[in-house]
A and B are shown apart, each in its own frame.
Chain A
């Protein structure tokens, strides 16, 4: 990033202390996140959230059906059918391109650029 605060800044020691503190906080937090109990609990919470979301979605679908309106699932189903048609079009295009390859007409800059004279290799590992 562009110029950070310089060494002459009297706040530098506070900055360093904050950096150390953040480092220690990261270590502590990661030790907690790394436990099996945390993994298990967080996944239970995620699952619970997903179930609630699903339940609300089902209830909303029933309400929409009562009012004779399409639900999200109905709209998604139409989208899926469109996607299938899109897939078919891509396959047809592909097949047509293979059967009768179009004469490629390209415009734009010339593709004749050459690399600059080679410098000494800087590869660190091959």
Chain B
């Protein structure tokens, strides 16, 4: 017996209306949950603090596989934000990805600098702290060679260290969205013009520079960013995964650190005003940070839609480095989505793993 099926003429519109009603209901239920629930936990991958020195914490993450690559990785976090962006959620954790891929991972993270740490300068961050951590990584692993990696300003610190210590047994340098030509960071360059901005007076008066100043500077790069974020949250409130990830990222982006006074003065004068890293004239701890001195394998991952560190500012790292083995990868994404979240898990992390694996034995 033949069966007859009749297609409802309004099935497309009906489906859309049903979906809209369902989402509206879910949005209301989850909206209440959103305001009632505690902040979601971050940075849960097991780790040990193997060194603490004032504002600096050095973490060693517990390996997750039985056999690891010989060369450990020391990741340097940007000085403006907390390092848990590398471990924001179990399913979106850069650190966990690296551990599962067989790397031994160490992270340099920062706490709020204490008032007396206002005297810490670029020499401390780009030389002493990194040297100290490298020594401890070598002690823990028994390996001389280490891969140095850095994100944003952490990449700048790692680059300066590699450029000022060409004799150091670093195995590789991996940077993510790292600025070199600070004049190309137009809004920052404009707002820190020396004819208006008296950095000495500011630092002498306040000591450490409050995170609100930095947060405002970042907000000025995308003035509607916060409103757009809230709109996206409301729009996707029905989606539990979206909401949880959004909350974690929002927590991280608002959790900014003050900057040590001298470090702020140094970065403003040497990097923003003199553009000394780009020009090869930057002096750190009595050594010249000439990027041409870097001869180890170099990887630089940059984001196509980075509104904080535009490509014009970051493209010079690979161009200036003296390494024969150097790779620049331009990937879809923004400044943060390059290293954290589903975009990073799809793009940067596997690309880095592919590059790093053969250089970590």
Which residues of A come within 8 Å of B, CB atoms? Answer: 1-5, 8-11, 15, 18-19, 22-23, 25-26, 29-30, 33-34, 36, 39-40, 42-43, 46-47, 50-51, 53-54, 72, 75-80, 82-83, 86, 90, 94, 97, 102, 104-106, 108-116, 118-119, 122-126
Contact = CB atoms under 8 A, between A and B. Distances in A.
B329 A123 contact: yes
Given A19-B228, A22-B228, A124-B329, 9 more contacts: A5-B236, A30-B220, A50-B201, A76-B116, A106-B140, A108-B68, A115-B360, A125-B318, A126-B326
Contact of B354 (A9, A50, A76, A122): A122
A111 B68 contact: yes
Given A112-B67, A123-B327, A22 B227 contact: yes
A4 B198 CA distance: 44
Contact of B235 (A5, A25, A125): A5
B91 to A, nearest CB: 10
20 contacts: A5-B23, A11-B20, A19-B228, A22-B227, A29-B223, A30-B220, A30-B223, A33-B187, A34-B186, A39-B191, A86-B53, A86-B54, A104-B138, A105-B142, A109-B67, A113-B69, A114-B361, A115-B361, A122-B354, A124-B330
B15 interface: yes
B116 A79 contact: yes
Contacts of B102: 113
Contacts of B193: 39
B342 A1 contact: yes
B157 to A, nearest CB: 18
Interface stretch (B34-42, B171-179, B241-249, B287-295): B241-249
A18 B228 CA distance: 9
B190 A39 contact: yes
A72 B115 CA distance: 9
B2 to A, nearest CB: 33
B19 A8 contact: yes
Most buried by B among A1, A33, A53: A1
A4 B201 contact: no
Nearest to B141: A106
A55 B63 CA distance: 52
A113 B361 contact: yes
A47 B201 contact: yes
Nearest to B222: A26
B174 to A, nearest CB: 14
A33 B357 CA distance: 45
Interface string B302-344: 0000000000000000100000001111100000000001100
A119 B197 CA distance: 51
B241 A79 contact: no
Contacts of A110: 66-68
A122 B354 CA distance: 9
B19 A125 contact: no
A8 B16 contact: yes
Given A36-B196, A51-B205, A83-B116, A30 B328 contact: no
Contact of B206 (A10, A53, A124): A53
A115 B231 contact: no
Contacts of B254: none
Contacts of A77: 116
B65 interface: yes
A64 to B, nearest CB: 15
B117 interface: yes
Contacts of B28: none
A95 B318 CA distance: 35
Nearest to B361: A114
Contact of A109 (B65, B213, B330, B361): B65
Contact of B70 (A15, A26, A112, A116): A112
B111 to A, nearest CB: 14
Contact of A115 (B197, B330, B357): B357
Point out which of A22, A78, A94 has the most chain B C-beta atoms below 10 A from its C-beta.
A22
A50 B351 contact: no
